[in-house]
Homo-oligomer: A and B are copies of this chain.
Amino acid sequence: MGQNVAVTRPLTRRPGRPLGGQLDVSRDVVLDAAERVIARDGATASIDAIAAEAGVTKPIVYDRVGSRADLATALAERLSDRMAVAARAALDGRGFTRLSLASFIEANLRTVIEHRDLFLYVTGGSTDQTSLGRLVLAEQSVIPLSMALKNWRQRAVLDPSVSDSWAYGMVGMLQMASLWVIGSPSADPRVVADQLAELLWYGLVGERRTD
């Protein structure tokens, strides 16, 4: 086959639908490829590079995952899921103590360190006032955290109206601490986590003083 083709374009690959039936590239395959590219090339990974890594062309990526912001959102979901898993493993049923708070924070820091560039990709960028990019990852953590806080404070007969502020605040604290730890290898996640726990603990449990 082929010697009757007198063409400018070689046989390598002709446009249109490929011969081997439907392309079997699901959304998750693209997201996996995105993670690989980001881990390899850093947070500046382009959609083209991701498409190439997934073995597809750009419009496929747009069909499967949507715009770049949607991609970031999807990856943020994955990352925040991993953070939640790590945090649960660190807590592991123990009650809410100062130590378990430190473990929680440390698990978060270590997860971010492990997925350094993914974190930077997800939290960085966009400057897009409609989406307010950095809230993407944040809200995935904020919402459950806020609910947990609210439930717990209600049971402890403490004012639950603080839950939103505190959740946003704590997530921001964690994100900035992560960014710092990522950038300065001298910072030990265990120590940092313990220090942040020290800062938060007494306020969290509602220690009161007359001032």
Q: Which of chain B's residues have a CB closer than 8 A to the CB of A117?
A: 129
Interface-facing stretch out of A12-20, A25-33, A175-183: A175-183
- A191 CA / B134 CA spacing, docked (Å): 23
User: Are A120 and B129 within 8 A (Cβ)?
Assistant: yes
Assuming the A-B contacts A44-B127, A125-B124, A202-B202, are A209 and B211 also in contact, with contact meaning beta carbons closer than 8 angstroms in the complex? Answer: no
- B199 x A162 contact (CB < 8 A): yes
Question: A47 within 8 Å of B by Cβ?
Answer: no
With both chains docked as a complex, state the minimum distance between the C-beta of A102 and any C-beta of chain B, in angstroms. Answer: 11
Query: From A132, which residue of chain B is reached at the shortest CB distance?
Result: B183
A98 at the interface (CB under 8 A from B): yes
| Pairwise interchain contact A195-B125, C-beta atoms closer than 8 A | no
- Given A117-B129, A162-B199, A165-B177, 17 other A-B residues pairs in contact with their CB atoms under 8 A: A97-B211, A98-B211, A121-B127, A132-B183, A135-B179, A138-B176, A165-B199, A166-B195, A169-B177, A170-B173, A172-B179, A175-B176, A198-B203, A199-B203, A202-B202, A202-B207, A205-B209
